[in-house]
Copies of this chain bind each other. A is one copy, B any other.
Amino acid sequence: MSVLQNGNTVQNGATTLVDVQSSRDNRHIAIDKVGIKGIRHPIKISDKTGEVQSTVAELTMAVFLPQQFKGTHMSRFVEILEARHKNLDVPTFKELLPEMLSRLESKAGEIQMRFTYFVTKKAPVSGVESYMDYDVTFVGKSENGETDLQIKVVVPVTSLCPCSKEISAYGAHNQRSHITITARLSKIAKDENTLWIEDLIHIAEKSASSELYGLLKRPDEKFVTEHAYNNPKFVEDIVRDVAHKLNEDTRVAHYIVEAENFESIHNHSAYALIEKNKI
């Protein structure tokens, strides 16, 4: 039995190739999201300093499919990516959404774009510069003309255990931790492009026992060791301190903050999460 039910066709030189995707579907079930996942593409991102950085993104692009259509046209998602040669930042990322909905003839859709992002930092004492790398994801959703934008950053930091410090005669266990902030932009932040990746990184790093650096000389290492010891933090402290700052920030409409400590005394993590819808 042929999968084809309405005989749409396309010309291919002398041949005629049927458009199976456009044929009618009779199961009466709409599909919330359909598209492509795990496609890698080189992108350019404008950062807060005005510089443009080149990096590699992995994307998911999907649209709503009404019940009457058998399939979406997967190649069009790739065409949209290929056609996009200008820089990407929050404002230009926003333009991808209506373009995708128009090209795929759908009323709703979503794009996720995950990439490695670099920030140049100065070491705290010597001032030597080096890159720090972060995993960042832009998530854009559009439905019935409404656009929703989220920025997610995974910020690696140091956490030093308050309990271990308090009960031990000397030392305190500490470890690398990941602070993950997923922030939905408020209307003003979306319209005026006022929330930067760097802003969320800053909030996370100031809520940890210490921030991390690519390059530290000995005086810097002394500084970060003592600074972390002076700022012990449980996962609970970290998420609360981030939450407190995001509560005050009018650029953020909704957030999830997570902290995961890759405990240096266990083979599992300590973990905490706070979610808040501010509107």
List the interface of chain A (C-beta within 8 A of B).
2-4, 10, 12-13, 15, 17-21, 25, 27, 29-42, 53-56, 60, 62, 65, 70-72, 74-75, 78-79, 82, 116, 118, 125, 128-133, 156, 158, 160, 162-176, 210, 212-219, 221-222, 224-226, 228-229, 232, 234-237, 239-241, 243-244, 260, 262-275
Contact = CB atoms under 8 A, between A and B. Distances in A.
A36 B17 CA distance: 38
A166 B221 CA distance: 11
Contacts of A70: 234, 236-237
Contacts of A237: 70-71
Oligomer copy total: 4
A212 B36 CA distance: 15
Contacts of A234: 21, 70-71
A132 B55 contact: no
A99 to B, nearest CB: 16
Nearest to A1: B230
Contacts of A217: 75
Given A12-B125, A31-B239, A31-B272, 20 more contacts: A4-B166, A12-B219, A20-B167, A27-B240, A36-B269, A37-B260, A37-B270, A40-B268, A42-B131, A56-B116, A62-B272, A71-B236, A72-B236, A74-B270, A158-B265, A168-B229, A170-B229, A172-B225, A174-B175, A175-B176
Contact of A82 (B17, B21, B38, B131): B131
A65 B174 CA distance: 23
Contact of A29 (B15, B125, B160, B243): B243
A41 B174 contact: no
A20 B266 contact: no
A170 B226 contact: yes
Contacts of A162: 3, 20
A19 B218 contact: yes
Contacts of A33: 271-273
A54 B75 contact: no
29 contacts: A2-B166, A3-B166, A17-B167, A20-B167, A21-B163, A25-B236, A27-B241, A29-B244, A29-B274, A31-B236, A33-B271, A33-B272, A35-B272, A40-B267, A41-B131, A42-B54, A42-B118, A42-B131, A55-B55, A56-B116, A65-B272, A158-B173, A163-B221, A164-B222, A170-B226, A171-B226, A174-B175, A214-B266, A214-B268
